[in-house]
């Protein structure tokens, strides 16, 4: 028996060679997708004695599975129950056998980009290791797998598409800064939900804040575009109502940042700026918000002030974002900027419209309290506006 280490860059070539040399394949892989070697597998599909493909975490491509519909020698493990995670490639020809075993799945990433490590074991087919591996694949794996038919493929394809954004988000690692606060201070990332609720509910204006968020949600949800709102409603959302106007609405729209002093924004809201409307429309009303959504918002919002002497910055932008999706965005203003930035490990002057997503929103959305399940009652209403309500914790009128 010969055992050799196979480095990442040689795994694909090793599999190609083994597929050409041997007459029977017994494979068990956690994930599969089209890759530099997959065309060889299709070419030599008559050599497949037993191939079991896993789908946990929806990492296997539906298009890859589709290639094996109707092929009796290939089965699939549904993405439920205990995680199916082997990566074993057994080859046989008469009394010769080889096993490639290690970290590499049969995916494009594993065959062309990942850092992988495998061992190639070569010997005679009657040696115990080949017998045990063949039995594991053809019995244990095969018996818990099912045929790849049109019904399974349809169910998997739909759910694979539905989880795409969540899978993509897991590929990004957010480096969290240490709070610039004394020991024992508030850490907005490591707060539990109970701690978060306690701090938010201790604020004097919570009921009024929740009324504002409910009204903003009602106004924005009743129209297909921000520009469809009347001028008073647009001003309320943007925070550009004057004090007397706010009194007439019966709500303190100055909460979450008053933009009345930003005259250029007031003018654009009054004139129903298309760019500002397009910016707000880039943020989906429900579901996951991506950095691409935010980047599109920034593009349209900044274009609205392209030829102006004063541009729209993070204060006015975050006000609009917090009204559209208070579950994800927090307004940044002069009364909360110092406290919020310090507790997120930033200097107040460092926060701007370009880094707001990366430096604030990504850390916030990785926090313990933010990822808690939605409760019922008034705590559920707080959960619906949980990011925006950080303002209730860090607002400092002094």
Provide the pLDDT confidence category of residue 131 given band limits of 50, 70 and 90: very high
Domains of the chain: 2-165 (3.30.870.10), 193-394 (no CATH)
CA 314 to chain CA centroid, Å, is 23
Confidence of residue 15 (pLDDT cuts 50, 70, 90): very high
Q: What's the mean per-residue pLDDT of the chain?
A: 93
The sign of the CA dihedral 67, 69, 70, 75 is positive
Instruction: Quote the CA–CA distance of 330 and 320 in Å, as a whole number.
Output: 10
Cα torsion 122, 125, 129, 134: sign = positive
The pLDDT of residue 183 is above 60: no
pLDDT on residue 171: 73
pLDDT at 54 over 70: yes
pLDDT at 176: 81
Would you state the pLDDT for residue 243?
82
The model's confidence at residue 156, banded by pLDDT at 50, 70 and 90, is very high
Percent of the chain residues topping a pLDDT of 90: 79
Strands 74-76 vs 48-53: parallel, antiparallel or unpaired = parallel
Angle at 88 between CA 84 and CA 90, to 5 degrees: 140
| Residue 314 near residue 352 (C-beta atoms within 8 A) | yes
Which residues make beta-bridge pairs with 118?
Answer: 6, 102
- Reduced to 3 states (helix: H, G, I; strand: E, B; else coil), residue 64 is helix
pLDDT > 70? residue 184: no
* Res. 181: pLDDT tops 80: no
Lowest mean pLDDT among 185-189, 249-253, 393-397: 185-189
In this structure, is the dihedral angle defined by the CA atoms of residues 31, 34, 39 and 43, taken in order, positive or negative?
positive
- Amino acid 182: pLDDT: 56
- The answer to whether residues 119 and 101 touch, using CB atoms and an 8 Å cutoff, is yes
pLDDT band with cut points at 50, 70 and 90 for residue 164:
confident
pLDDT tens column, 214-269: 999 999 999 999 999 999 999 999 999 988 888 778 899 999 989 999 999 999 99
Cα distance between residue 168 and residue 289, in whole Å? 12
Q: Is the pLDDT of residue 348 over 90?
A: no
Q: Please give the Cα distance from 106 to 98 (Å, whole number).
A: 17
Which pLDDT score, from 0 to 100, does residue 346 have? 85
User: How far separated are the first and last CA of the chain, in Å rounded?
Assistant: 77
Q: What is the pLDDT of residue 341?
A: 86
Question: What is the pTM for the complete model shown?
Answer: 0.76
| Strongest mean pLDDT among 19-33, 184-198, 357-371 | 19-33
pLDDT band at 88 (very low <50, low <70, confident <90, very high): very high
Mean pLDDT confidence for 18-35: 98
């Amino acid at each position: 028996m010969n055992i050799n280490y196979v480095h990442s860059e040689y795994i694909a070539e090793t599999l190609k060679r083994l597929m050409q040399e041997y007459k029977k394949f017994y494979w068990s892989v956690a994930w599969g997708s089209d890759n530099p070697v997959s065309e060889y597998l299709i070419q030599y599909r008559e050599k497949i004695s037993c191939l079991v493909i896993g789908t946990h975490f929806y990492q296997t491509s539906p298009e890859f599975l589709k290639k094996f519909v109707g092929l009796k020698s290939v089965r699939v493990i549904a993405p439920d129950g205990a995680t199916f995670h082997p990566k074993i490639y057994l080859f046989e020809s008469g009394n010769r056998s080889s096993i490639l075993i290690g970290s590499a799945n049969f995916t494009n990433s594993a065959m062309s980009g990942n850092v992988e490590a495998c061992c190639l074991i070569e010997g005679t087919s009657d040696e115990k290791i080949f017998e045990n591996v063949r039995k594991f694949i053809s019995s244990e794996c095969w018996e818990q797998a099912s045929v790849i038919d049109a019904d399974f493929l349809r169910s998997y394809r739909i759910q694979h598409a539905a989880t795409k954004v969540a899978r993509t988000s897991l590929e990004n690692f957010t480096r969290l800064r240490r709070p610039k606060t004394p020991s024992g201070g508030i850490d907005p990332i490591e707060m539990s939900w109970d701690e978060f609720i306690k701090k938010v509910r201790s604020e004097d204006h919570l009921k009024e804040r929740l009324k504002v968020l409910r009204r903003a949600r009602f106004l924005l949800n009743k129209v297909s575009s921000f520009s469809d709102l009347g001028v008073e409603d647009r001003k309320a959302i943007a925070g550009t109502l004057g004090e007397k106007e706010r009194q007439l609405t019966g709500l303190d729209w100055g909460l979450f940042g008053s933009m009345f002093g930003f005259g250029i924004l007031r003018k654009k809201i009054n004139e129903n700026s298309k760019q500002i409307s397009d910016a707000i429309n880039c943020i989906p009303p429900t579901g996951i918000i991506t950095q691409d959504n935010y980047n599109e918002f920034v593009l349209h919002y900044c274009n609205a002030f392209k030829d102006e002497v004063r541009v729209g910055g993070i204060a006015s932008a975050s006000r609009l974002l917090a009204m559209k999706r208070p579950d994800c965005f927090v307004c940044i203003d002069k009364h909360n900027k110092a406290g919020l930035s310090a507790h997120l490990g930033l200097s107040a002057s460092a926060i701007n419209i370009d880094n707001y997503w990366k430096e604030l929103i990504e850390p916030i959305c990785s926090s313990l309290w933010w990822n808690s399940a939605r409760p019922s009652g008034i705590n559920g209403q707080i959960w619906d506006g949980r990011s925006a309500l950080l303002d209730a914790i860090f607002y400092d009128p002094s």
